[in-house]
Amino acid sequence: MDRSGDPAALADLIGRRLSGPPGGLYRRLADALAALIGTAELPVGARLPAERRLAEALAVSRSTVVAAYDELRGRGLVESRRGSGTTVARAASRGRSGADRRMPTGYGESLFHRIAFGPGDVISMTYAVDPGIPELVAEVQDLARTDLPALLQDVGYHPRGILPLRERIADHFEQSGLPTGPDEIVVTSGAHQAIALVTQMYLRSGAAVVIEQPSWPGCFDLFGAAGGRVVGVPLDDAGIRPDLLTAALKEHQPAMLFVMPTFHNPTGRLMSSARRRQVAELAARYGVVVVEDNAYSAGDPSGPEIPPPLAAFAPDHAEVLSIGSVSKAVWGGLRIGWIRAPRPLAERLARHKALADLGSPVIDQALTARLLPRLTEITADRARLATGRRAHIGRLLAERLPEWQWEEPAGGSALWIRLPDTDARVFAQIALRHGVEVVAGHAMDPSGLHDGYLRIPFAYPPEVLVDAVDRLAGAWRELRRHGPAPGVPMV
């Protein structure tokens, strides 16, 4: 996707490369642009943003951008003409394969780009995951001793998932208040693949999909890749607003409604039982498939009671698909998720799964089957730890960044913070140069309504949280001392 006309999107992609020791900022900027020149982001002939506009997006001086463009001209990568600005030179495409140019596009792409590059020397707060639970070591060792010989005799291809795991997942749904049989379960490679399979099955080019506003950045990539039109509906304290949802269903006649009722990402809100029933009944009335993502389902026993999945409140004729995963509760590297759907839909999903990869890794499934009976206990332990960390970062922020505002989340692993009179994308660029990486609200709501918000995860050890808040406070002082560059929108 050509980024030449969108300095803010270009800044999101190159911002990480600007972090480093003082001095040489213009050269790091030149190197960052050079890495993108000749790809789909900056193809041959594309016009680079005007120096002032890119400087505003990156929160750097105009002279830094001027010097970087001079450096690129010296390398023969760009050329400048009076009245035409600075464009990517034809010579820049040499040495690039066609595969280099096939880059993913979408509002969440910069987030996944950063994950792929790794944290480096920066404290990356782009995702909120804990290390694997300690019990995994003993479980893996015992599985290797007792179950692995039999597993190796199996053919290894199970598009639905191995039966023992599907039985355990069905039991887990039963315990949460949603009667379920193993034939209603399809095992996937994480919740991300579950959403991708559902999208492939339901979404066609030009069709609308209604989501909560704000929402998880990855859904913009998945729905956009399928040609879908994303329609956002705001939240209130109980979840997605039913009055605005009704209007969206009437106007757009969407193919799908995607919600995160249990500890919504990024706000951490918990959809009430009454609201779950309203949403399910509205979707049934308008013939819309509901996809509920409950990957963030860890609840502190001392906190609010978690209602049953939204599917438990749905009328008999409704189509509701419920997604879950062990990645957040057990370990991000254990890529096992699932979809719970009425049996005919589960059969169709299994066919899509077979086309995708013939089935998720059997050893990972067997390991997950061992852990499922204790999943509620495991998630409770995680949630208690998260509660303590949330209180810790809350105290740090109140002390060092008292201007920042947020509502206490019901659960989850992040704070949704409002910055006063500030475009969060501009602040995020300054924060990067102070050694901490954050996700600005625009990635979670491209409408512009949440451009002044940051998602700040707290799934880190206390000492890391202290260091991160120190760096954020330093970046905030710099922004307040110098103010935004001229032309930067204030929200």
CB 48 within 8 A of CB 78: yes
Percent of the chain with pLDDT over 90: 68
* Domain locations along the chain: 7-103, 123-132+377-482, 135-374
Distance CA 414, CA 125 (A): 10
What H or E segment, with its residue span, contains residue 439? strand 439-440
Residue 236: CB atoms within 10 A of its CB come to 12
pLDDT band, very low/low/confident/very high, at 9 (cuts 50, 70, 90): confident
Cis peptide before 266 (omega within 30 of 0): yes
| Whole-number Å distance between alpha carbons of 67 and 30 | 8
* 193: nearest Cα among 327, 85, 313, 62: 327
Structure tokens at 100: 């280099």
Task: Choose the weakest-confidence range: 62-71, 354-363, 477-486.
Answer: 477-486
Which residue type sits at 406? Answer: W
Token pair listed for 315: 């009328």
Predicted local distance difference test score (pLDDT) of residue 120? 52
Neighbours of 302 (CB within 10 A): 9
Task: Decide the pairing of beta strands 185-188 and 337-340.
Answer: antiparallel
In tens, the pLDDT along 256-312 reads 999 999 999 999 999 999 999 999 999 999 999 999 999 888 788 888 999 999 999
Q: Which tokens hold the place of 97?
A: 């394969």
In the prediction, which pLDDT does 128 show?
A: 76
Whether the CB-CB separation of 32 and 18 falls below 8 Å is answered with yes
What is the CATH superfamily name and number for domain 123-132+377-482?
Answer: Aspartate Aminotransferase, domain 1 (3.90.1150.10)
Between 17-31, 200-214, 323-337, 381-395, the lowest mean confidence (pLDDT) is in 17-31
* pLDDT tops 60 at residue 172: yes
Per residue in 417-427, pLDDT (tens digit) is: 999 999 999 99
Helices 217-225 and 109-117 cross at an angle (nearest 10°) of: 110
The pLDDT value recorded for residue 98 is 47
User: What are the structure tokens assigned to 4, written together?
Assistant: 């030449």
Compute the distance between CA of residue 195 and CA of residue 186 in angstroms, rounded to an integer: 12
For residue 78, how many other CB atoms are within 10 A of its CB?
27
The 8-class DSSP code of residue 77 comes to S
- Asked if residue 415 has pLDDT above 60, the reply is yes
- What architecture (CATH level 2) is domain 7-103? Orthogonal Bundle (1.10)
pLDDT digits (tens, 9 = 90+) for 125-160: 987 778 899 999 999 999 999 999 999 999 999 999
SS3 444: coil
**Alpha-carbon dihedral sign for residues 4, 7, 11, 13:** negative
| Separation of alpha carbons 351 and 337, rounded Å | 17
Please give the pLDDT value at position 5.
Answer: 62
Residue type, 133: I
What is the gyration radius of the CA atoms in the chain, in angstroms? 24
Taking only the tens place, the pLDDT of each residue in 231-257 is: 999 999 999 999 999 999 999 999 999
Among 96, 88, 104, which Cα is nearest to 49's?
88
Instruction: Indicate the average pLDDT of the chain.
Output: 89
Output the pTM of the full model: 0.84
In this prediction, residues 438-450 reach a mean pLDDT of 94
Side-chain half-sphere exposure of 85, counting CA atoms within 13 A:
14
> b vs e for 132-169, b when ≥16 Cβ sit within 10 Å of the residue's Cβ?
ebeebeebeeebeeebeeeeeeeeeebbbbbebbbbbb
Least Cα distance to 241 among 266, 198, 262, 272 occurs for: 272
pLDDT score of 99 more than 50 = no
* CA angle centred on 115, ends 268 and 65, rounded to 5°: 105
- pLDDT score for 20: 64
Q: Determine the average pLDDT of the residues in 161-174.
A: 98
Thinking of the domain 135-374, which architecture would CATH place it in? 3-Layer(aba) Sandwich (3.40)
Region 316-325: what's the mean pLDDT? 95
Percent of residues, the chain, with pLDDT higher than 70: 90
Residue linked to tokens 């607003």:
241
